Protein backbone atom coordinates (compact mmCIF):
# COMPACT_ATOMS: atom_id res chain seq x y z
CA UNK A 1 0.00 0.00 0.00
CA UNK A 2 1.42 3.32 -1.11
CA UNK A 3 0.79 6.66 0.60
CA UNK A 4 1.26 9.53 -1.82
CA UNK A 5 2.11 12.88 -0.29
CA UNK A 6 -0.22 14.61 -2.77
CA UNK A 7 -3.14 12.46 -1.53
CA UNK A 8 -2.24 12.95 2.12
CA UNK A 9 -2.11 16.72 1.58
CA UNK A 10 -5.85 16.50 0.78
CA UNK A 11 -6.76 14.48 3.86
CA UNK A 12 -5.31 11.83 6.18
CA UNK A 13 -5.72 8.21 5.09
CA UNK A 14 -6.91 5.54 7.49
CA UNK A 15 -5.77 2.06 6.62
CA UNK A 16 -6.75 -1.41 7.78
CA UNK A 17 -5.15 -4.15 5.73
CA UNK A 18 -4.27 -7.83 5.94
CA UNK A 19 -1.17 -8.68 3.92
CA UNK A 20 -0.38 -12.12 2.48
CA UNK A 21 3.05 -13.60 3.27
CA UNK A 22 5.64 -12.26 0.82
CA UNK A 23 4.19 -8.75 0.56
CA UNK A 24 6.54 -7.70 3.34
CA UNK A 25 10.01 -9.00 2.49
CA UNK A 26 11.64 -10.18 5.73
CA UNK A 27 14.70 -11.94 4.34
CA UNK A 28 16.39 -14.66 6.38
CA UNK A 29 15.47 -13.24 9.76
CA UNK A 30 11.89 -14.42 9.99
CA UNK A 31 9.07 -15.96 8.01
CA UNK A 32 5.52 -14.65 8.09
CA UNK A 33 2.84 -17.28 8.79
CA UNK A 34 -0.68 -16.33 7.70
CA UNK A 35 -1.91 -12.78 7.27
CA UNK A 36 -0.14 -9.75 8.67
CA UNK A 37 -2.71 -7.26 9.93
CA UNK A 38 -1.88 -3.56 10.00
CA UNK A 39 -4.10 -0.62 10.79
CA UNK A 40 -3.63 3.04 11.49
CA UNK A 41 -3.48 6.48 9.94
CA UNK A 42 -1.14 8.27 7.58
CA UNK A 43 -1.06 12.06 7.46
CA UNK A 44 1.12 14.95 6.40
CA UNK A 45 2.86 17.14 8.95
CA UNK A 46 4.25 20.42 7.71
CA UNK A 47 7.64 21.32 9.05
CA UNK A 48 8.31 25.06 8.79
CA UNK A 49 12.01 25.60 8.33
CA UNK A 50 11.94 29.21 7.25
CA UNK A 51 9.52 31.76 5.89
CA UNK A 52 9.38 29.97 2.55
CA UNK A 53 10.67 26.48 3.20
CA UNK A 54 7.96 24.04 4.22
CA UNK A 55 8.81 20.35 4.38
CA UNK A 56 6.05 17.77 4.05
CA UNK A 57 6.72 14.96 6.49
CA UNK A 58 4.59 11.84 6.60
CA UNK A 59 3.43 10.67 9.99
CA UNK A 60 2.42 7.02 10.23
CA UNK A 61 0.72 5.88 13.40
CA UNK A 62 -0.78 2.47 13.96
CA UNK A 63 -0.12 -1.12 14.89
CA UNK A 64 0.56 -4.48 13.35
CA UNK A 65 -0.16 -8.03 14.42
CA UNK A 66 0.88 -11.33 12.90
CA UNK A 67 2.42 -14.75 13.37
CA UNK A 68 6.00 -15.45 12.41
CA UNK A 69 8.55 -18.22 12.48
CA UNK A 70 12.18 -17.73 13.41
CA UNK A 71 14.95 -20.26 13.79
CA UNK A 72 15.99 -21.49 17.24
CA UNK A 73 19.38 -19.94 18.04
CA UNK A 74 20.76 -23.35 19.06
CA UNK A 75 19.12 -26.08 16.99
CA UNK A 76 17.83 -23.95 14.05
CA UNK A 77 14.38 -25.61 14.15
CA UNK A 78 11.53 -23.16 13.35
CA UNK A 79 9.91 -21.55 16.39
CA UNK A 80 6.46 -19.91 16.22
CA UNK A 81 6.44 -16.30 17.33
CA UNK A 82 3.32 -14.14 17.56
CA UNK A 83 4.25 -10.47 17.30
CA UNK A 84 2.36 -7.23 17.67
CA UNK A 85 3.56 -3.69 18.16
CA UNK A 86 2.52 -0.09 17.87
CA UNK A 87 4.37 2.59 15.95
CA UNK A 88 4.25 6.34 15.61
CA UNK A 89 6.80 7.38 13.02
CA UNK A 90 7.85 10.45 11.09
CA UNK A 91 9.23 10.20 7.55
CA UNK A 92 10.92 13.16 5.92
CA UNK A 93 11.59 13.53 2.19
CA UNK A 94 14.98 11.92 1.53
CA UNK A 95 16.31 14.86 -0.51
CA UNK A 96 15.69 17.48 2.21
CA UNK A 97 18.39 16.41 4.64
CA UNK A 98 20.72 15.33 1.87
CA UNK A 99 20.96 18.97 0.75
CA UNK A 100 21.40 20.57 4.16
CA UNK A 101 23.87 17.93 5.31
CA UNK A 102 25.78 20.23 7.64
CA UNK A 103 22.81 20.68 9.95
CA UNK A 104 23.51 19.17 13.34
CA UNK A 105 21.43 16.15 14.09
CA UNK A 106 19.86 15.97 17.52
CA UNK A 107 19.08 12.73 19.29
CA UNK A 108 15.40 12.86 18.46
CA UNK A 109 16.11 13.43 14.79
CA UNK A 110 18.00 10.18 14.50
CA UNK A 111 14.65 8.47 15.03
CA UNK A 112 13.33 10.03 11.86
CA UNK A 113 12.95 7.93 8.75
CA UNK A 114 12.95 9.04 5.14
CA UNK A 115 10.74 8.50 2.13
CA UNK A 116 12.02 8.46 -1.43
CA UNK A 117 10.31 10.42 -4.17
CA UNK A 118 6.73 11.40 -3.38
CA UNK A 119 5.36 8.41 -1.52
CA UNK A 120 5.85 6.00 1.35
CA UNK A 121 5.27 2.25 1.10
CA UNK A 122 3.48 0.67 4.05
CA UNK A 123 5.23 -2.63 3.29
CA UNK A 124 8.66 -1.01 3.80
CA UNK A 125 7.60 0.42 7.14
CA UNK A 126 6.16 -2.89 8.30
CA UNK A 127 9.30 -4.72 7.29
CA UNK A 128 11.38 -2.53 9.57
CA UNK A 129 8.86 -2.64 12.41
CA UNK A 130 8.60 -6.43 12.34
CA UNK A 131 12.38 -6.85 12.27
CA UNK A 132 12.78 -4.36 15.13
CA UNK A 133 10.31 -6.26 17.29
CA UNK A 134 12.04 -9.63 16.85
CA UNK A 135 13.76 -10.84 19.99
CA UNK A 136 17.58 -10.84 19.76
CA UNK A 137 17.67 -14.56 20.41
CA UNK A 138 14.89 -17.14 20.32
CA UNK A 139 15.14 -20.66 21.69
CA UNK A 140 12.65 -23.45 20.89
CA UNK A 141 12.70 -24.27 24.63
CA UNK A 142 14.81 -22.91 27.49
CA UNK A 143 16.91 -26.08 27.73
CA UNK A 144 17.35 -26.69 23.99
CA UNK A 145 20.39 -28.95 23.61
CA UNK A 146 21.30 -27.58 20.18
CA UNK A 147 23.15 -29.33 17.38
CA UNK A 148 26.06 -31.70 17.92
CA UNK A 149 29.20 -29.85 16.79
CA UNK A 150 30.64 -33.15 15.49
CA UNK A 151 27.86 -34.85 13.51
CA UNK A 152 25.28 -32.03 13.27
CA UNK A 153 22.44 -34.10 14.78
CA UNK A 154 19.72 -32.24 16.66
CA UNK A 155 20.47 -33.38 20.20
CA UNK A 156 16.88 -32.75 21.30
CA UNK A 157 15.85 -35.60 19.00
CA UNK A 158 18.86 -37.93 18.82
CA UNK A 159 21.42 -38.89 21.40
CA UNK A 160 24.54 -39.30 19.31
CA UNK A 161 27.67 -40.83 20.87
CA UNK A 162 30.10 -38.22 19.49
CA UNK A 163 30.82 -36.82 22.96
CA UNK A 164 32.17 -40.19 24.10
CA UNK A 165 34.13 -40.90 20.91
CA UNK A 166 35.78 -37.54 20.46
CA UNK A 167 38.61 -36.55 22.74
CA UNK A 168 38.22 -33.03 24.01
CA UNK A 169 40.41 -30.84 21.72
CA UNK A 170 41.57 -28.80 24.72
CA UNK A 171 43.20 -31.90 26.25
CA UNK A 172 44.69 -32.72 22.88
CA UNK A 173 46.37 -29.31 22.73
CA UNK A 174 47.64 -29.72 26.26
CA UNK A 175 49.09 -33.10 25.28
CA UNK A 176 51.04 -31.48 22.44
CA UNK A 177 52.30 -28.80 24.78
CA UNK A 178 53.56 -31.40 27.27
CA UNK A 179 55.27 -33.25 24.46
CA UNK A 180 57.07 -30.07 23.43
CA UNK A 181 58.42 -29.21 26.90
CA UNK A 182 59.95 -32.65 27.25
CA UNK A 183 62.15 -32.12 24.20
Question: Nearest 5°: CA angle at 126, between 69 and 101?
Answer: 130
Q: Which of 49, 24, 22 is nearest to 125 (CA)?
A: 24
CB of 162 to Zn ion, least distance (A): 3
In the bound state with Zn ion, the residue whose beta carbon lies nearer, of 1 and 148, is: 148
Cα separation, 31 vs 81, in Å, equals 10
Q: Which of 127, 99, 116 is nearest to 27 (CA)?
A: 127
Residue of 12, 150, 159, 173 interacting with Zn ion (CB under 5 A):
150
Which part of the chain contacts Zn ion (CB under 5 A), choosing from 43-51, 94-102, 110-118, 149-157? Answer: 149-157
How many residues touch Zn ion (CB under 5 A)?
11
Q: Is 148 in the site for Zn ion (CB under 5 A)?
A: yes
Q: Is 26 in the site for Zn ion (CB under 5 A)?
A: no
β-strand partners of 83:
66
Q: Is 144 in the site for Zn ion (CB under 5 A)?
A: yes
CB of 94 to Zn ion, least distance (A): 41
CB of 67 to Zn ion, least distance (A): 19
CB of 154 to Zn ion, least distance (A): 8
Within 70-89, the residues that bind Zn ion by CB under 5 A are 72, 74-75
Sign of the CA dihedral with 49 first, then 124, 131, and 89 last: positive
Residue-by-residue DSSP string for 94-133: HHHHHHTTTSPPPTGGGG-EEE-TTEEEHHHHHHHHHHHH
Q: Would you say 140 and 72 are in contact if contact means Cβ atoms under 8 Å apart? A: yes
In the bound state with Zn ion, the residue whose beta carbon lies nearer, of 24 and 72, is: 72
Which stretches of the chain bind Zn ion, using CB under 5 A? 72, 74-75, 140, 144, 148, 150-151, 153, 160, 162
Amino acid sequence: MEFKVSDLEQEPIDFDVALEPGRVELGEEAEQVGLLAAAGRAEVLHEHRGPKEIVSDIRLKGQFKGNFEVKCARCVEPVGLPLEAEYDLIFRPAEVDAVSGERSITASETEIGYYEGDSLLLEDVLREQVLLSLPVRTLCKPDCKGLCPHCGENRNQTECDCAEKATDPRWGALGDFRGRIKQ
